[in-house]
Amino acid sequence: MDLKLKVWRQASPADQGKFVDYQVHDISPDTSFLEMFDILNDELVEKGEDPVAFDHDCREGICGMCSMFINGHPHGPEKATTTCQLHMRKFKDGDTIVVEPWRAKPFPVIKDLIVDRSAFDLIIQEGGYVSATTGGVPDANAIPINKENADLAMDAAACIGCGACVAACKNASAMLFVSAKVSQFALLPQGKVEAKERVKKMVAKMDELGFGNCTNTYACEAECPKEISITNIARMNRQFIGAKLS
Amino acid sequence: MSNKSYYSSITKKIIMSLMGLFLLTFLVVHLTVNSFLLVSKDLFNEGAHFMGTNAFIQVFQWVLFAGFAIHIFYGIVLQIQNWMSRPKGYKKRAAMEQSPFSKYMIYTGLVIFIFLIMHLNNFFFVKMGWVGHMPMTPSGEEDMGALVMALFHNGYYVFIYVVLILLMGFHLDHALQSAFQTLGLNHPTYWGFIKGLSRAYAIVVALGFAIIPLFIYFFK
């Protein structure tokens, strides 16, 4: 496959940045999107140019590091797929592909396609933990948990914190991420101890960091590579109302 | 966390949604009274007379104005914050919204605001005696029906009215279900019904308001 790429290049956070056109040739349809960038970078290095900087780690769709905004979609147009699991067979020979970094005030560009997602860590620090008693390791089955809640908590915990929800949202709102993190604890008995404080603190931090307000467009759910449901946002809203009223 | 009063994004949205739901109930009442015009001008005048003289309605209309003001105020505040949260936009961004009109709420909201001003100027201000002249019935009562009929026989007015009402319908399509989501009332069992109800409300109310001037213009 021969492809034309329009890639955002930005040397540093302070740099203006611009789109640069690249041509890649003889790409196998079985190449992953990131491998295609590896091929491009090899060529750039051979030519003595600066390779395109992009985030990646596991390349198995579970770490949440990859973060490209491809042809108008975070992680590309393929549903429930991270950039690393996206393959070139999903594109056509001769396609022009636009690749941009996540765009949001709390996610400043560090270089090229890499953005600083520490804002998510700061939100987690506010309440993404549970109280645990000291002493011996408790029996894993000592606390009964109904199957439905265990499943819902597991679904929420599937969030890899990649930031696609923020990138997709027209308001750059982090509600889907925060609600998934609130829900995974709120649904389980271990998380109930700090439930009220957690939701208040995490929402306050989210607002403070400059994420936008959710307007229920549900673009986040449509674009989430882990298909986190907007019912988590409703649950967080319920939790928030409950915490504020008590 | 300190206990200082702090209006979080969710608090502002909850206020928005409660005011929005309140305005939705008002539209139903308004449409009901308007629909009397399809029967007869006299029936509409009776309805208008009741709304204009009932003590509860008289007090409640100021609550309604406050509802509009709060909904508009927070709508603008939230929108400005949302614009600020993405200083640099995308070169290419697909339509990803699952609620199709959610993307344009500030614009359809602005349309409704313009319509509201026009509407107050045409009817409420006339009734209050601030502008224009209120026609009277032979028995000496305010003839709101005649005022409406005169405007609904003006082709330009009817055209603008219908277009603005349809744009309001787009606003309403997102409204009800969005309010439920914000209030945390989203359950997989009922969500399909709520979304359907939201769309049905938008269609019934928008078409209801649009049919009345068209009917009067062409058939009365």
pLDDT tens, residue by residue, A130-180:
888 888 888 878 889 999 999 999 999 999 999 999 999 999 999 999 999
Q: What are phi and psi of B179, to 5 degrees?
A: -65, -40
| A4 touches B at CB < 8 Å | no
Q: Are the Cβ atoms of A69 and B90 closer than 8 angstroms?
A: yes
Residue among A176, A178, A245, A171 at smallest CA distance from A212: A171
Residue among A162, A178, A179, A180 at smallest CA distance from A223: A162
Fold of A3-110: Ubiquitin-like (UB roll) (3.10.20)
The answer to whether A122 and A209 have CB atoms below 8 angstroms apart is: yes
Query: What is the least distance, in Å, from the CA of B185 to any CA of chain A?
Result: 6
Give me the CATH code for the A118-245 domain, please: 1.10.1060.10
Q: Are the Cβ atoms of A170 and B103 closer than 8 angstroms?
A: yes
Q: Are the Cβ atoms of B91 and A6 closer than 8 angstroms?
A: yes
- pLDDT band for B3, please (50, 70, 90 cuts): very low
Query: What is the least distance, in Å, from the CA of A137 to any CA of chain B?
Result: 31
Going by C-beta distance under 8 Å and a sequence separation of 6 or more, which residues neighbour residue B105?
Answer: A215, B75, B171, B174
Domain map (residue ranges) of chain A: 3-110, 118-245
Query: What is the least distance, in Å, from the CA of A122 to any CA of chain B?
Result: 15
Q: Tell me which chain A residues have a C-beta less than 8 angstroms from the C-beta of B15.
A: none
Only one residue has tokens 């026989």, namely B153
Question: Which of B1, B87, B188 shows the shortest C-beta gap to A231?
Answer: B188
Residue type, A98: V
Instruction: Flag whether pLDDT at B2 surpasses 60.
Output: no
Give the HSE-up count for residue A194: Cα atoms under 13 Å, Cβ half-sphere.
20
Measured distance CA(B23)–CA(B68) in Å, rounded: 7
User: Which helix (H) or strand (E) covers residue A5, if one does?
Assistant: strand A3-9
- pLDDT band for B220, please (50, 70, 90 cuts): confident
The answer to whether A225 and A84 have CB atoms below 8 angstroms apart is: no
Q: Are the Cβ atoms of B10 and A240 closer than 8 angstroms?
A: yes
Q: Are the Cβ atoms of B8 and A241 closer than 8 angstroms?
A: no
Instruction: Flag whether pLDDT at B1 surpasses 90.
Output: no
Going by C-beta distance under 8 Å and a sequence separation of 6 or more, which residues neighbour residue A162?
Answer: A64, A65, A66, A67, A74, A75, A82, A225
Query: Which domains, ranges and CATH numbers included, belong to chain B?
Result: 9-86+98-219 (1.20.1300.10)
Q: Tell me which chain A residues have a C-beta less than 8 angstroms from the C-beta of B8.
A: 203-204, 207, 240
| A194 touches B at CB < 8 Å | no
The answer to whether A140 and A180 have CB atoms below 8 angstroms apart is: no
Query: What is the least distance, in Å, from the CA of B175 to any CA of chain A?
Result: 10
Q: What are phi and psi of A3, to 5 degrees?
A: -135, 150
Q: How many CB pairs under 8 A join A and B?
A: 135
Residue ranges in chain A modelled with pLDDT below 70: none
Q: What is the pLDDT of residues B148-203, one digit of tens each?
A: 999 999 999 999 999 999 999 999 999 999 999 999 999 999 999 999 999 999 99
The answer to whether B105 and A215 have CB atoms below 8 angstroms apart is: yes
A57: left (phi over 0), alpha (psi -120 to 50) or beta: alpha
Residue among B40, B72, B84, B6 at smallest CA distance from B212: B40
